Amino acid sequence: MVFDRRLGSIVRFTDFALADDAMTARFDAEDEFADNADIEVVVLGAASQDDLRRTHARYFQSAREIAVVALGELRKYEAESRARLAF
C-alpha cells in the first residue's frame, strides 16, 4: 500500500497472493516515491481486508473517525470502572 500522510489517503492499494510479489511491489513503490517524504510504503498482511481495516484503521479512517471510536471506548472503560468501584 502507498499512503500519503499529508493528505491522509491511500494512493495505491493492491492485494497480492504471494509475499514475494508484495515485497517486489513495495521496493518498486519505494523507488517510485523516494523523493516524496509524505509517502509511506507498507506491506500489510491479514486474513481479510476487514481485518486490515480493524488492525490498521489509521490507513482507512479519517482522524475524526478514529477519535470518535477512541472516545467511545474511553467512555465505555470509564463506565465499567465506575461500576466496579461501586461494588
DSSP assignment string, 7-70: TTEEEE----SSHHHHHHHHHHHHHHTTT-TTEEE-----SSHHHHHHHTHHHHS-HHHHHHHH
How far apart CA 43 and CA 7 sit, in angstroms, is 19
CB 5 within 8 A of CB 38: yes
15 has pLDDT over 80: yes
Question: 3-state DSSP call for residue 3?
Answer: strand
pLDDT one-digit tens code per residue, 40-86? 999 999 999 899 988 998 898 887 888 898 899 999 999 999 888 88
CB 22 within 8 A of CB 33: no
